[in-house]
Structure formats: structure tokens, C-alpha cells
Amino acid sequence: MSFVITFTSVIEIPAPSFDLAMSLDSGQVFHWQKTGKGFAGTIGDFAVYIEQNGNVLKVRDGGAPARSPRRPLPEIVARYFALDHPLAEICASFPGDAVMNTSRKFCRGLRIIRQPKWECLATFICSSMKQVAHIRQISLALRRRFGDQRRVGDQVVYTFPRAQRIARASEDDLRKCALGYRARNLLMTARLVSSGKANLEAWSALPDADLREKLCALPGVGAKIANCVMLFAYERLRAFPIDVWIERTLKQQYFPRKKKVTTLQLREFSETYFGEHGGYAQQYLFHHARTALRKSAAARDSSPAHRSARNDKGRDTRVASRKSRNRKRFLDSESACSPGHCGPFEVRGPE
């Protein structure tokens, strides 16, 4: 379904202690598209374009269908980006070790994004064993195939499909969005949610342990995904997702002398050490580690020595390829001879 919507006006929203680009690129959400100086995307059913100018967000409203309940746009945007979180107090609650201090300074202005519950749950089910770039591809594919189209100015964006829409799809349809084995998990969970057997809204009243248990009972949801959903959709700021980035960081930086650290030990350590805002601490550690590695890889790729080695490797590959093609032509020409008429040479396979 397509809705053609034009900008109505530009609304300015105060956003102190907030970095829009960093928050959108920190592995929390995966559908926002860089457009000009800002980003185009959806918040629930609402299509918006947002750019940041200092401590102010300039928001252009693409709108939503008439059937959607309408709240004031500043309220929608401010809530989504958690502009009400007391970020200075949250950061002050972090442990004072060198690793955490470095991550806190690096991630200044990063906020936990409040996501719609079903959208967050479904997206992280799709994220299992995937890199951020791949999760983004899957999210956009699901939106294009099953979501509703919107226009924000000249930019086309798509809403995330409702659970009912996914529940009506076939597993093969979902696999076409590059989900692989995750397609079945997403389909089964969508059916539970759309039938009301998994009431995501009602679960908001549950304590952390019970909420985690409910989430982990869903197909495709383990402890890591459950903690992501608790943090990003239910605003349980103690939740501390442990993925490969965080596991590596914790082991290297907090347990450098221990040869073996179990997942249970890491979980118990993170719950006690990082405290009531552990989810924020985790996000800062995650984004810093991931960004530092990307910068390191980019610097390595651009270094003269690496470029020279890469060029040498490329030349070696091209030479080997030419030799292989020439040998293949020779073998093909030899094999075309009829038995007894191929001359005195014996054609052998590769040594």
C-alpha cells in the first residue's frame, strides 16, 4: 500500500546532549536512510525527515495514514530518541575504569532509542548471527515487501510490517528477504503475537526476570536477543546484551588474566558491575569497540604498505589466472584430438 505525502512544515525540537547520527548508527535500529544533511525513516507509522543543527533537531513531517492515532510530532520524536533520559546522570553512574571512561567520552550524546515492541522484537530475531550491514538489508527487504510505502519529500520510506501481515506470509516469502533459517522463527513468533498468545504490550508490567523468561520462550529468542528487546523496546535500562563484540571486550578488558570465562560469569559480572544503567554502558562499549575496529581496518586498507601488498596480490592473481587460462586452452586443444592422433606428448592433469 502506498501513501504519497508531502512536507507540511519544519518543526524544531530542543535536543541537548544528543548525537543523532551516532545514535542511529550504533546498532539499535537499521532502517534509517542518510539523505542530504539528515535522515529519512519511520517512527511507527509516521514518516519523518530529521537533521541536527547543534542542540536542535529540525524535523519535517511526512505524516501517517488517517487511521493512525495522532500525537504531536515533537512528542513522538522526543520520545523515540529518549530525549527525556537524564544522560549526564546516567553517564555519571557508570564505573570509573579506563575502558568505560574512554567509551563514555567517545559516545557522548548517544541515547537508547525507544522502539516499537513488535518492530524491535522482529528485527532482532532477524539479527541472529548477522552483521549490522546484513541486518539492515533484511530490515529494508521486509519493509519493502510487506510494509506500507510513504514519501518524505522525494525520499521513499517503508513502515515495518505489522505482526498480522508477517503471520499471513509464507516461510518461502520471508526467505526471499534473505532471512534463511530465521524465516521460520519470525513467522512462528508473528503468529503468536498476532493471535494474542504473546501479548507484548501486557508484558510491560512484568518484572525483568519474568519479562526475560517470556521473551526467551518465543521462537528464535535467546538471552542476547531478549536483553536487546528489553533494553530497546521495554526501556529496561539494566538489561545488558552480550554479543560477540561485548564478549570480546569484557574478556580482554575486564578479565585479561583469565584463560577461560564462561557466559554465565560474564552475565553475572555485567549485571552487578555496570549497575542500574548497564544497558547504556553496554551500548557505549559496543559502539566504541565496533567503530574503533572499523577505523582501524580503514586505516590499514589505506596504508601504502597495505595498498602495495594488495596490488602485488592482485598482480599475482591476474598472472596466475592468465596461466590457468592458457593451460586450460592447451588442455582443451589436446583433449580435442582423437586417440592416436595427438602427437608424441602425453597430456597430464595438474601435478
Q: At what angle do helices 244-254 and 263-273 cross, to 10 degrees?
A: 80
- Domain regions of the chain by residue span: 10-299
The shares of helix, strand and coil residues in the chain, as percent rounded to the nearest 5, are: 50, 10, 35
Residue 299's pLDDT is what?
62
| Cβ-proximal residues to 290 (8 Å cutoff; 6+ apart), any chain | 27, 132, 245
Query: How many Å apart are CA 143 and CA 295, to the nearest integer?
Result: 30
Residue 298's pLDDT is what?
63
The structure's pTM equals 0.82
Residue 305's pLDDT is what?
55
Closest by CA position to 132, among listed 8, 243, 2, 207: 243
Residue 216's pLDDT is what?
98
Looking from the CA of 247 toward its CB, the CA atoms found within 13 Å total 10
pLDDT in tens, the chain (351 residues): 443 334 457 999 999 999 999 999 999 999 999 999 999 999 999 999 999 999 999 999 886 665 666 688 999 999 999 999 999 999 999 999 999 999 999 999 999 999 999 999 999 999 988 899 999 999 999 999 999 999 988 899 999 999 999 999 999 999 999 999 999 999 999 999 999 999 999 999 999 999 999 999 999 999 999 999 999 999 999 999 999 999 999 999 999 999 899 999 999 999 999 999 999 999 999 999 999 877 766 666 655 555 555 555 555 555 455 555 554 443 333 333 333 333 332 223 333
Is there a contact between 286 and 27 (Cβ–Cβ < 8 Å)? yes
| Residue 291: Cβ-neighbour burial (10 angstroms; 0-12, 13-18, 19+) | middle
- Using a CB cutoff of 8 Å and minimum separation of 24, what contacts does 170-176 make? 173/145, 174/142, 176/141, 176/145
Residue 293's pLDDT is what?
74
Residue 325's pLDDT is what?
53
Residue 71's pLDDT is what?
80
Query: How many Å apart are CA 271 and CA 277, to the nearest integer?
Result: 10
Residue type, 45: D
The number of beta carbons lying within 10 Å of the beta carbon of residue 251 is: 16
Residue 44's pLDDT is what?
94
Residue 333's pLDDT is what?
35
The yes/no answer on whether domain 10-299 falls in CATH 1.10.340.30 is yes
Residue 167's pLDDT is what?
98
